[in-house]
Amino acid sequence: MPTRDYYNILGVNRKADAEEIKKAYRRLARQWHPDHNPGSAKAAERFKDIQEAWEALRDPEERARYDRLGPFYRPEGRPPRPDELHEVFDSVLGNLFRSRSKGERDLQYTLALSLEEVASGVNKELVVPRMVRCETCTGSGADPDQGKRTCEVCGGSGKATGPRLWRTACYHCEGRGFTVERPCPTCAGAGLHEREDKVTVQVPAGVASGQKLKLAGKGNESRGRGTPGDLLVSVSVSEHPLFLRRGEDIVLDLPLTIAEATLGTEARVPTLEGTAVIRIPPGTAAGKTLRLQGRGLPRVDRGPRGDLHLRVILEVPTQLSEAQSSALAAWARSLPPESHPQRAALDLAVRNRS
Ligand SMILES: [Zn+2]
Ligand SMILES: [Zn+2]
């Protein structure tokens, strides 16, 4: 752990004499001793830091070596290895950039939409549980009635003195400039609490599953002055019982009776917005697709709307009475072979082979 400012950890000036260092160490070691903070990982970590700082600064010779080497100092007295030098630079650069990230404040939300909602576009009200700054303590975590004390080490600036290369936040107040003497009664010191907020999201027409809508600033707030995160709404379009989506186009299976397909008809079909009438020409074959232009989905980019494709299927009648069956058989017998040219060609092929 070379990238530590030991003076910052002990909260003493770089010119502090041996007696001051000893006093600071004793006070902090008592405060953060694991026996006084059972089960606290943070206390254990701090106690280790404090021990390490004390080991380096208690002995004048070791202290002089530390002052000379700075971030390249190693408690064991050996020079740093090349990989450890990388570690020094990585952690210094890491500290510079980490404070700008607000990724962990972003919230994810999955929004289920029907195809009809995709067609029209819709405003949806979401109830989003998010972390917001505590109103009682405005995020400090301290009782507003004198629960805060200015950090003695940095005098309230939140900044550590010492080389710039090291972390610049004060170790004792974690850069906040104050310590909490008595926690806020509302949030018990957390500075944040969960609140269910109603958020309206405007879903544009034509969105597809997997697309994300970003609501800037509607994610979690931070304790301090940082900007709140974003709310990322993932769209998930539910399967429709009738329509199949193909990009901007939609497909509908259109069952016709043998009589309708043979003689032609006018069929009323469902669309996303209501119904439409389509003319079926006589002799329409199964598998043929009829197109209703512009009755598909709108495009997010406001280009032309997609189409509604009607895929013809022939529905074979079942559960016929005896009279219906014989009428159908009589009708079939009355037809010449030319009425079914494909079937006639197959029958001819069979005869030629026997
Ligand atoms: Zn509070
Ligand atoms: Zn401080």
For 17-56, write each residue's pLDDT tens digit: 999 999 999 999 999 999 988 888 888 988 998 999 999 9
Determine the distance separating the centroid of ligand 1 and the alpha carbon of 144, expressed in angstroms.
8
Q: Provide the CATH number for the domain around residue 78.
A: 1.10.287.110
Instruction: Kindly state whether residues 122 and 220 are assigned to the same domain.
Output: yes
Determine the distance separating the centroid of ligand 2 and the alpha carbon of 68, expressed in angstroms.
25
Instruction: Kindly state whether residues 205 and 268 are assigned to the same domain.
Output: no
Examine residue 38 and state whether it is found in any structural domain, yes or no: yes
Determine the distance separating the centroid of ligand 1 and the alpha carbon of 197, expressed in angstroms.
18
Q: Which ligand is nearest to the CA of 169?
A: 2
Please state the pTM of the whole predicted model: 0.64
Examine residue 110 and state whether it is found in any structural domain, yes or no: yes
User: Could you say which of 68, 98, 128 is where a domain stops?
Assistant: 98
Cα-to-chain-centroid distance, residue 52:
40
Amino acid identity of residue 206, one-letter, is G
**Residues 165, 5: Cα–Cα separation, whole Å:** 10
The rounded percent of the chain whose pLDDT value lies above 90 is 62
Amino acid identity of residue 84, one-letter, is E
Q: Which tens digit of pLDDT belongs to each residue from 269-301? A: 999 989 999 999 999 999 999 999 999 999 988
The structural domain count of the chain equals 3
Instruction: Kindly state whether residues 320 and 226 are assigned to the same domain.
Output: no
Beta-strand ranges (E) seen in 82-224 are 107-113, 122-133, 148-150, 178-180, 192-203, 212-215
Return the closest-CA partner of residue 151 out of 178, 170, 172, 175.
178
Instruction: Kindly state whether residues 68 and 19 are assigned to the same domain.
Output: yes
Instruction: Kindly state whether residues 117 and 200 are assigned to the same domain.
Output: yes
Instruction: Kindly state whether residues 120 and 196 are assigned to the same domain.
Output: yes
**Residues 154, 32: Cα–Cα separation, whole Å:** 19
Q: What is the domain range of residue 304?
A: 244-353
Q: Which ligand is nearest to the CA of 174?
A: 2
Instruction: Kindly state whether residues 122 and 219 are assigned to the same domain.
Output: yes
Determine the distance separating the centroid of ligand 2 and the alpha carbon of 72, expressed in angstroms.
25
Instruction: Kindly state whether residues 117 and 221 are assigned to the same domain.
Output: yes
At 1 the pLDDT is 37
Instruction: Kindly state whether residues 113 and 227 are assigned to the same domain.
Output: yes
Determine the distance separating the centroid of ligand 1 and the alpha carbon of 173, expressed in angstroms.
17
